[in-house]
Amino acid sequence: MKAEDKKIIYTLLKTADAYECGYTREKFAGEPVFANDTELSFPGSTRESRQNRDVEMSGSSPNMTQGLSLDELNAKILRCTRCGLARTRNNVVPGMGVEHPDVLVIGEGPGHDEDMQGLPFVGKAGVLLDRMLAAIGLDRKSNCYIANIVKCRPPENRNPMPDEQAACFSFLEAQIHILKPKMILCMGKIAIEKITGQNISINAQHGEFFEYNGIPVMPTYHPSALLRNEELKRPAWEDLKKFKRRLDAIKAN
């Protein structure tokens, strides 16, 4: 539905409600932000279509990115008002890194520092992430791109809600389609669950390989989890070494 249509329906309901009650209810105080529903739609954005993903994604259909460059896509992301996070954010955080990366790193969503700077993983967790990546020869300036499941900060650093993740996901799908990373590293449960569409136990399944449209994907512990629990650093390091072996093999072919 178009933003203007939503606004018309909202105004009608508001008028009818005020007429019925004889006053304007609190819930109507303040105007919501309306957005078009189908700004971007990419194959694979629903669970059902993901089942057919291998077939759909085997070619590189130009209309999947609607001809957008990464800069154009990120400019669209910067203007997004698809979900409530648009009302509380300071900055949108589309992502950063090189345009044809070896590795796409996917986090959960921006925190306070990222929201203030408009850049992903720039706080404490980001410093640790950069160290983890450097240990296996990766960095956002030369061979990685870093993005998140949601591009705006969830208030109080709560987990992004399913509807917020759903509203944002086609942006990530489009980024992946443009970036064409050789491998994807998912930091934590939220990222791997959204990418695979499966329930994942990070404790039991970190370091396993999954696939997204033919791209190998590995989940490991989120750097924030490593900051809270030092004991997770050893298994995370084992994951990273395994990830690097697979990346080296892909690059050697």
User: 96: buried, middle or exposed (CB in 10 Å: 19+, 13-18, 0-12)?
Assistant: middle
**Interacting residues of 116 by C-beta distance below 8 A, sequence separation 6+:** 90, 91
Distances (CA, A) of 179 to 13, 65, 113: 43, 11, 25
Choice from 94, 109, 160, 219 touching ligand URA (CB under 6 A): 109
Among residues 57 and 185, whose Cβ is nearest to ligand URA? 185
Tokens of residue 99, six digits: 């345009």
Interaction between residue 108 and ligand URA (CB under 6 A)? yes
Radius of gyration for the alpha carbons in the chain, expressed in angstroms and rounded: 20
| Residue 238: half-sphere exposure toward Cβ, Cα within 13 Å | 8
User: Which among 63-71, 74-82, 114-122, 176-184 is the span making contact with ligand URA, rule CB under 6 A?
Assistant: 114-122
Place of tokens 């949601």: 150
Interaction between residue 219 and ligand URA (CB under 6 A)? no
Among residues 120 and 216, whose Cβ is nearest to ligand URA? 120
User: Which among 26-34, 83-91, 110-118, 171-179 is the span making contact with ligand URA, rule CB under 6 A?
Assistant: 110-118
Interaction between residue 120 and ligand URA (CB under 6 A)? yes
- How big is the site for ligand URA, counted in residues (CB under 6 A)? 11
Among residues 97 and 109, whose Cβ is nearest to ligand URA? 109
Give me the least distance between CB of 252 and ligand URA, in Å please. Answer: 31
Interaction between residue 114 and ligand URA (CB under 6 A)? yes
Among residues 45 and 117, whose Cβ is nearest to ligand URA? 117
Give me the least distance between CB of 208 and ligand URA, in Å please. Answer: 20
d(CA 29, CA 44): 38
Q: Long-range contacts of range 7-11, CB-CB < 8 Å, 24 or more positions apart? A: 7/34, 10/34
CA-nearest of 24, 40, 83, 80 to 177 is 40
User: Which among 43-51, 64-72, 73-81, 121-129 is the span making contact with ligand URA, rule CB under 6 A?
Assistant: 121-129
Site string for ligand URA, 88-107 (x = CB under 6 A): -------------------x
| C-beta of residue 167 within 8 angstroms of C-beta of residue 39 | no
Choice from 83, 125, 152, 168 touching ligand URA (CB under 6 A): 125
Interaction between residue 148 and ligand URA (CB under 6 A)? yes
d(CA 172, CA 33): 22
Choice from 121, 145, 171, 221 touching ligand URA (CB under 6 A): 121
Q: Which residues of 166-176 are buried (b: 16+ CB within 10 A; e: fewer)?
A: bbbbbbbbbbb
Instruction: Report the interface residues with ligand URA, using CB under 6 A.
Output: 107-111, 114, 120-121, 125-126, 148
